[in-house]
């Protein structure tokens, strides 16, 4: 049975073209720098985001944590939003791997106030009590479904530059952000020193993310990736799918976004559902269920029986995520099923 899977865009399956590319990939030992397919992916990825160099990592979490580990010294402080993936969904890894402390700011729908960042930057030699600020992190697109404005990113980057603090962009869904803004990725990544983006989400690759930055930064990160056990041998098998993801799957994100907007509009018409339509920038729809007998558990179970997989609510809201395998007909079918349950 085919399920419509709205739990996340991480559920995407590799395309037929990816499977063929993986099957045929020329590979070598990438720890020796001998894997031509991996080298091609890393070169292509660096160019695509306007950085000097790039490095393949197993997951987005790995890429973010490797960025912290590479930019910072132990005991440094990292300034970032209290609702970002690094704080909320990475198992506290920053304290274990990089050994840094996270200094969180209350975000305004994912956007950080540049002046509040400036006020928190500290120099180690300023005061005997102070840790030094090692890094600022921003997230775009944000996991709340919104895209952060380029103006906001620009002013944060300017502050980082002025105080000699690098900026890392968690761009797990960088190409969704670029699609929404109608710009090429470097228009976003010019406001960061390093960027992580996922091949495995909306772009459908089975495994992998990319960390990109200056050549010096990536050389350092490559060694630290090895330390973390992330030196992968014939990884060109995975890079082959990654190349298809970057070359052929970015365009389709537009359709995922259109389907999310349609989903939001149609769900809003249902009594008892309040969808945050103004926040649908990418492929995510958030909504709450009010004044009905339908709990989120009931919705999960009821939809499952109709061949639709969703996650239960988090923070009082349910999230539906569209992806490459979600069609417009699926969207309308899901809305019909929700209507019958609420
Ligand atoms: C998914 C995601 C990650 C982590 O990616 P994994 O491959 O699941 O580890 C990091 N940041 C954001 C914003 C994400 O959405």
Structure tokens that stand for 68 in this block: 């912290």
Which of 221, 248, 275 is the C-terminal boundary of a domain?
Answer: 248
Which of 194, 213, 248 is the C-terminal boundary of a domain?
Answer: 248
**270 CA distance to ligand 1 middle (Å):** 31
User: Residue 101: which CATH number?
Assistant: 3.40.640.10
């010096």: which residue's tokens? 216
Closest atom of ligand 1 to CA, residue 8: 1
Q: Is residue 5 part of a domain?
A: no
Q: Please check whether residues 19 and 105 belong to one and the same domain.
A: yes
Atom 2 in ligand 1: residue holding the nearest Cα = 172
Domain, as residue range, for 287: 252-341
Closest atom of ligand 1 to CA, residue 141: 13
Which of 227, 248, 269 is the C-terminal boundary of a domain?
Answer: 248
Q: Please tell me whether the overall predicted TM-score, pTM, comes out greater than 0.95 for this model.
A: yes
Residue-by-residue pLDDT tens, the chain, 342 positions: 899 999 999 999 999 999 999 999 999 999 999 999 999 999 999 999 999 999 999 999 999 999 999 999 999 999 999 999 999 999 999 999 999 999 999 999 999 999 999 999 999 999 999 999 999 999 999 999 999 999 999 999 999 999 999 999 999 999 999 999 999 999 999 999 999 999 999 999 999 999 999 999 999 999 999 999 999 999 999 999 999 999 999 999 999 999 999 999 999 999 999 999 999 999 999 999 987 888 889 999 999 999 999 999 998 999 999 999 999 999 999 999 999 999
Structure tokens that stand for 11 in this block: 């559920």
Q: Please check whether residues 127 and 170 belong to one and the same domain.
A: yes
Burial class (CB within 10 angstroms; exposed 0-12, middle 13-18, buried 19+) of 224:
middle
Q: Is residue 2 part of a domain?
A: no
Those residues whose C-beta lies under 8 Å from the C-beta of residue 115, and which sit 6 or more positions away, are none
Atom 6 in ligand 1: residue holding the nearest Cα = 60
Structure tokens that stand for 179 in this block: 């699609």
């Amino acid at each position: 049975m085919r399920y419509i899977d709205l739990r996340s865009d991480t559920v995407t399956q590799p395309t037929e073209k990816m499977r063929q590319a993986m099957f045929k990939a020329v590979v070598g030992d990438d720890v020796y720098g001998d894997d031509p397919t991996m080298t091609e992916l890393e070169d292509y990825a660096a160019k695509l985001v306007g950085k000097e160099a790039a490095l393949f990592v197993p997951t987005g979490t790995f890429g973010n944590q490797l960025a912290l580990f590479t930019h910072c010294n132990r005991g440094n402080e990292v300034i970032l939003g209290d609702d970002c993936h690094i704080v909320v969904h990475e198992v506290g890894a920053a304290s274990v791997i990089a050994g840094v402390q996270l200094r969180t700011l209350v975000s305004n729908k994912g956007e950080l106030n540049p002046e509040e960042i400036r006020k928190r930057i500290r120099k180690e030699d300023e005061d005997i009590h102070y840790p030094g600020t090692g890094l600022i992190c921003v997230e775009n697109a944000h996991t709340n479904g919104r895209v952060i404005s380029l103006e906001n990113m620009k002013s944060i980057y300017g502050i980082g530059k002025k105080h000699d603090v690098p900026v890392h962009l968690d761009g797990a869904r960088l190409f969704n952000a670029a699609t929404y803004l109608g710009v090429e990725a470097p228009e976003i990544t010019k406001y960061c020193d390093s960027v992580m983006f996922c091949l495995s989400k909306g772009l459908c690759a089975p495994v992998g993310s990319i960390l990109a930055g200056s050549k010096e930064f990536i050389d350092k990160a490559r060694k630290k990736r090895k330390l973390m056990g992330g030196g992968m041998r014939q990884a060109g098998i995975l890079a082959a799918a990654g190349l298809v993801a970057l070359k052929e799957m970015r365009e389709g994100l537009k359709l995922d976004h259109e389907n999310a907007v349609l989903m939001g509009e149609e769900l809003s018409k249902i009594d008892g559902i309040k969808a945050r339509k103004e926040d649908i920038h990418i492929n995510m729809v958030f909504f709450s269920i009010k004044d009905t007998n339908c709990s989120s558990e009931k919705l999960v179970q009821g939809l499952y029986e109709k061949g639709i997989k969703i996650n239960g609510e988090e923070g009082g809201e349910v999230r539906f995520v569209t992806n490459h395998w979600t069609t417009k007909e699926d969207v309308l079918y899901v809305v019909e099923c929700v209507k019958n349950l609420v």
